[in-house]
Structure 1
Amino acid sequence: MQITVKLFAIFQEAFGAEEMQMELEPNARISQVFDRLVTMQPQLAEWRSLTRYALNLEFVEPDTALPDRPIEVALIPPVSGG
């Protein structure tokens, strides 16, 4: 299944892009998106416990199954600012 992955902050810096397309097997979990990114950029592994996930603009847990339809997944690291 083809998904769009929205990247923010550290993820955007690591890949030099705001989004990317990814192919995952049917019945994949949202955590597998993070796993795939870590295989491409191993330094991102330290962000696993700090990252929130969104599926089509709704926050979800890492073990959420991805639906078999066009979707958008966002990886949201902690943010700070003033």
Structure 2
Amino acid sequence: MTSTAPLRILLFAGVRDAAGCDVANVSVDHPVTAAKVIETVATQIPAAAPLIGVSRLAVDGQYVAADHVIERTDVELALIPPVSGG
């Protein structure tokens, strides 16, 4: 059984800069995987899509795999782009 629910995803670093905002609010059908959440955010914010596509999703402070199922009880979702150092 699927049902639609809103998700609030925090945006960081280059994704935040390209998107021009700190948060993406998307509506998804549950159950939903981390990969689908990333795809949905990229569709909603095309200017940041290239960077979103290589970013990782963190759920409640932990990076998750693409096939991780997002639960309705998950509190914090964050999209974090790769970091380069020097």
TM-score band by shorter chain is 0.7 to 0.9
Percent identity, aligned pairs only, is: 28
| Aligned length, in residue pairs | 81
Q: Does 1:10 align with 2:35?
A: no
Q: Does 1:28 align with 2:32?
A: yes
- C-alpha contact 1:28 1:65 (8 A) present in aligned 2: yes
Counterpart residue type for residue 23 of structure 1: S
Residues 24-63 of structure 1: pairs in structure 2 closer than 5 A:
24-42=28-46, 44-47=48-51, 48=53, 50-63=54-67
Gaps in structure 2 of 5+ consecutive residues: none
What is the DSSP-based 3-state SS (H/G/I as helix, E as strand, rest coil) of the residue aligned with 2:83?
coil
Deviation by residue 1:40-72 (Cα, 9 ceiling, x = unmatched): 334544332x32220011111111001023532
Quote the Cα distance in structure 1 between the aligned partners of 2:70 and 2:60: 10
Quote the Cα distance in structure 1 between the aligned partners of 2:66 and 2:35: 5
Q: Does 1:69 align with 2:73?
A: yes
Quote the Cα distance in structure 1 between the aligned partners of 2:18 and 2:59: 21
What is the DSSP-based 3-state SS (H/G/I as helix, E as strand, rest coil) of the residue aligned with 1:36?
helix
What is the DSSP-based 3-state SS (H/G/I as helix, E as strand, rest coil) of the residue aligned with 1:37?
helix
Structure 1 residue runs of 4+, over 6 Å off? none
Gaps in structure 1 of 5+ consecutive residues: none
Higher strand fraction: Structure 1 or Structure 2? 2
> Alignment RMSD, CA only?
1.9
Larger relative contact order (CA 8 Å, sep ≥ 6):
1
